[in-house]
A = this chain, B = another copy of it.
C-alpha cells in the first residue's frame, strides 16, 4: 500500500462526490466528525433563508408558513436512516432531555418493573439522566443498575423494565449487536431504549425490523446538523397509543393554540414535543439531512470499515507506532466508525496532531480517538494521518503535558 494507492481508492470511491457538499478547511484532516460533523454548504444557504426571509420578512407568519411542522418533517427525514417507517420519529430538544422522556415512558409501559439496566461505560449523559429520574421518583420506582458489558445478559431479569444502551461506545468504538440484545431483553420481558448518537448515519440500522421499542439520537455527529443540533425520538408504532411522557410542554399538546388549561397529549409522536423548538437548529439539520436522500447506508458502512481497517493496518505496519495499544475491536463488524488507541501521553499526542493539521479527539484518561465520516473522509487522509502520527512519535514532539480540566481537548 502506498499513498498513491489511497488516492486511487478515493478516485474509485462511489461516495466521493459527497465530500464536495461540505465546507472543509484546506490543509486540515478532520477525523472528528463522530463528535461534530462538518458543515454542509446547503446549511449556509438554508440559514440565510431562515434568517432573512422566514424570520426577517415573514416574522410571526413564519410559524404557519415554515416552522410548525418542522419537528415532524425532520423526524421523517431521519426515519429511513435508522430503519423506521413513517410516523415514529420526531425531532426535539437534546438527546439528554429525550432520554428522560423515554426512560419515564418505558417505566410506564412496563408496569411492575422498576430497573433501568445499563452498562457502566455507557455514554455518561445516558446514565446521568437515569440517575436524575431515579432521584426524582425514588429508587423504589426507578433504579439504575450499571453493570459491565459482559454482565448485561445475565443481569436481565424480571425486575428489568428497560435495557438502556448506546449502540456504539463513545470511548472505544465497540458496536453492540443491537438486534441480539433487543431480542434478549424482550425474552426477559424488558423493553429496549437505544441511543443511536454514535451510529446513526455511519451504518445501516433497522429499528423496525429489529423490533426496537424506543430510541434516541443526536443530530450533530454523522448527521451533520451543527453544534448542539436538535435530537430525535423514536417510539415504535405499537407503543404509541399507550405511551405518555412527563415533559408535557405546550408544543406536545393535542391543540397547542387552543391554550387549554389542561394538558392533552398530541397524536402519535407529537406528544414527544415539549417547549418551543429551536427553529435555527431544526432548519440547519433539515437542510443537512437532504444529503442523505440518495445515499446507500450499506455503502457508507463498507467505506467506514475500509477506512478503519486501513488505519489499523497502517499503524500496525509502522514499528514506531508499536507504542500505541489498539483499544477498539480489530474486527470491523464489532466496531463503529472510529478507531481508538491508548497511550499515556494520548492527550499531548492529540494536541500535537492538531498542530500538524490533523484533528482527532481525546478521551480521558489516555485514549486517542480517530473518527471516520464516510461522506467526507478520504483514504488519503488515513494515510497522511499515520504519516503525521509516526513523525511526532518518532520525534517525541508530543511530550508536553497540556491538559485542561473543563472543555474539550482540541
Flag if B410 contacts A60 (CB, 8 Å). yes
Instruction: Flag whether A260 is at the interface (Cβ < 8 A).
Output: yes
The closest CB in chain B to the CB of A367 belongs to: B259
Instruction: Flag whether A292 is at the interface (Cβ < 8 A).
Output: no
Count identical subunits in the complex. 2
Instruction: Flag whether A100 is at the interface (Cβ < 8 A).
Output: yes
Flag if A136 contacts B253 (CB, 8 Å). no
In the assembly, what is the distance between CA of A277 and CA of B227, in Å? Answer: 8
Instruction: Flag whether A86 is at the interface (Cβ < 8 A).
Output: no
- Partner of A104 from the list B124, B136, B257, B258 (CB cut-off 8 Å) is B136
Flag if A61 contacts B275 (CB, 8 Å). no
Flag if A280 contacts B47 (CB, 8 Å). yes
The closest CB in chain B to the CB of A274 belongs to: B96
Instruction: Flag whether A95 is at the interface (Cβ < 8 A).
Output: yes
State the Cβ distance, A151 to closest chain B Cβ, in Å: 15
Flag if B279 contacts A94 (CB, 8 Å). no
The closest CB in chain B to the CB of A64 belongs to: B407
Flag if A57 contacts B227 (CB, 8 Å). no
The closest CB in chain B to the CB of A220 belongs to: B276
Flag if A68 contacts B408 (CB, 8 Å). yes
Flag if A35 contacts B52 (CB, 8 Å). no
State the Cβ distance, A120 to closest chain B Cβ, in Å: 6
In the assembly, what is the distance between CA of A363 and CA of B59, in Å? Answer: 17
Flag if A96 contacts B250 (CB, 8 Å). yes
Instruction: List, in ascending order, chain B residues with CB within 8 A of A64's CB.
Output: 407-408, 410
Flag if A97 contacts B96 (CB, 8 Å). no
State the Cβ distance, A176 to closest chain B Cβ, in Å: 18
Flag if A60 contacts B361 (CB, 8 Å). yes
Flag if B280 contacts A280 (CB, 8 Å). yes
Flag if A68 contacts B407 (CB, 8 Å). yes
In the assembly, what is the distance between CA of A286 and CA of B33, in Å? Answer: 26
Instruction: Flag whether A262 is at the interface (Cβ < 8 A).
Output: yes
State the Cβ distance, A174 to closest chain B Cβ, in Å: 15
Interface residues of A in 222-253 (CB under 8 A from B): 226-231, 244-251, 253
Instruction: List, in ascending order, chain B residues with CB within 8 A of A281's CB.
Output: 228, 278, 280-281
Interface residues of A in 254-277 (CB under 8 A from B): 255-263, 274-277
Flag if A249 contacts B359 (CB, 8 Å). no
In the assembly, what is the distance between CA of A276 and CA of B120, in Å? Answer: 21
Given contacts A47-B47, A263-B128, contact A249 B406 (CB under 8 A): no
Interface residues of A in 150-177 (CB under 8 A from B): 170-171
Flag if B59 contacts A30 (CB, 8 Å). yes
Flag if A275 contacts B95 (CB, 8 Å). yes
Chosen A-B contacts, 18 in total, with CB atoms closer than 8 Å, are: A36-B55, A43-B51, A54-B227, A64-B407, A93-B97, A96-B251, A97-B275, A120-B261, A124-B260, A128-B248, A128-B249, A128-B262, A131-B262, A132-B247, A135-B248, A136-B246, A170-B259, A258-B364
A binding-site residues for B, Cβ under 8 Å: 23, 25, 28, 30, 32, 35-36, 38-39, 43-44, 47, 51-52, 54-57, 59-64, 67-68, 93-97, 100, 104, 120-121, 123-125, 127-129, 131-133, 135-137, 146, 170-171, 218, 220, 226-231, 244-251, 253, 255-263, 274-282, 284, 354, 359, 361, 363-364, 405-410
- Beyond known contacts A64-B410, A127-B261: 19 more, CB 8 A cutoff: A36-B55, A36-B63, A47-B280, A55-B226, A63-B227, A63-B408, A94-B275, A95-B275, A96-B250, A96-B251, A100-B247, A124-B259, A124-B261, A128-B253, A135-B246, A218-B276, A228-B277, A228-B281, A280-B284
